[in-house]
Amino acid sequence: MQATSTPPARWALVTALASVYIIWGSTYLAIRYAVETLPPLLLLGSRFGIAGGVMYLWLRMRGGERPTFVQWRRATLVGTLMLGFGTGTLAWATKFIPSGLAALLITTVPMWMALLDWLWKKGAPPNRLTIIGFIVGAVGVALLFDTGSILAGDGLNVAAAAATLLGGICWAVGSLHGRNAGLPADPFLSTAMQMLGGGLMLTLAGLVAGEAAEIHLASFTMRSVLSWAYLLVFGSFIGFSAYVWLLTHTTPTVATTYAYVNPGVAILLGWALGGETVTWRMGVALVLLVSAVAIINIFGRNRAKKPASFPPPPNPAAAPSDQPVGRVSEA
């Protein structure tokens, strides 16, 4: 998908960027609100299932190609890794850790991408700048783990934080596998299939985990229900449409700048609207992790002998899609 030759109107570009920045940055808090009274796995399963189903039917009605069984199987695997494990662990973790902290931990995805591309996919070995990015990012993550408070029992929920990091690794694995998985060329169709496959796996996982017994309509709060609707309508349809529009009307570098803005938006909204505490550790970690992403994605990649495509961190409410710099989300 290449950018068009005619520059877009400034107002349109600003509107699309603002949509991706604000909407995707706000989805972390929306997920935290949604899982207050809605079971996390079934919540995401229904969200991705509906979004993927609507998109798939719309494309088929417009004459889109009919995917093969093999393509469905591959899309389901990628969707399970990225949406099932990637966002499923995030949704569960936000029941125990602040949404802003979860956003910071998700920012580590480019580091896993670069490392796995080298060790697993036999890509270009990390150059000096990429290694510096690894070190800066590792320091940023280490700052989030206050050992003293953890040992005292009043600090970070280590299990939830570790689950979030594990989800990021799964997203990176799915992203790298999906680059050459033989999925449909149409990014919208590929995305719809991955959402349907991932949504199905999330729903099955939720049923196996016994989440159906947790569904009590009387206990659902309006805030949780509206947050679910926000994730579906704004996070998927509006945010994703704005992102795809950016990919076709500007450069990938501009389109993916959301990765450097979303963590700050998530922290700000979590503090202003969600009553979350922002510590000095989170502030310093934000600077270090965003810097690490920039070093790895821009400077390290561009100076490598064989540049590899490392996407920015996923957003938990967006959908995975094929695009020029690799594979990035949604969440």
**14, 23, 185 from 233: Cα distances, Å:** 20, 10, 25
Query: What backbone phi and psi angles, to 5 degrees, belong to 51?
Result: -60, -45
Cα–Cα distance, 121 to 147 (Å, whole number): 35
Task: Read off φ and ψ for residue 193, nearest 5 degrees.
Answer: -65, -40
Taken as a whole, the chain contains a residue count of: 331
Angle (CA) 40-81-322 rounded to 5° is 110
Per-residue confidence (pLDDT) for residue 152, from 0 to 100: 52
Side-chain-side CA neighbours of residue 292 (13 Å): 29
**Highest mean pLDDT: which of 107-111, 147-151, 245-249?**
107-111
pLDDT tens for 158-216 read: 899 999 999 999 988 988 888 888 888 888 898 899 999 999 999 999 999 999 998 88
Q: What are phi and psi of 10, to 5 degrees?
A: -60, -40
All structural domains of the chain with their residue ranges: 10-330
H/E stretch holding 187: helix 187-208
Select from 156, 24, 42, 26 the least CA-distant residue to 93. 156
Using an 8 Å Cβ cutoff, are 28 and 266 in contact?
A: yes
* 230-280 per-position pLDDT tens digit: 999 998 888 888 887 887 788 766 777 887 888 999 999 999 999 998 889
For the entire predicted model, the pTM comes to 0.83
DSSP three-state, residue 48: helix
Q: Lowest mean pLDDT of 51-55, 113-117, 299-303, 326-330, name the range.
A: 326-330
Mean pLDDT confidence for 29-50: 94
Nearest to 256 by CA among 21, 25, 6, 59: 21
Q: What is the pLDDT of residue 153?
A: 57
- pLDDT at site 199: 94
Round to whole Å and give the CA distance between 199 and 80. 8
Q: Which two tokens stand for residue 7?
A: 């520059």
Instruction: Indicate the SS3 state at residue 329.
Output: strand
Pick the range with the lowest mean pLDDT from 77-86, 100-109, 291-300, 305-314.
305-314
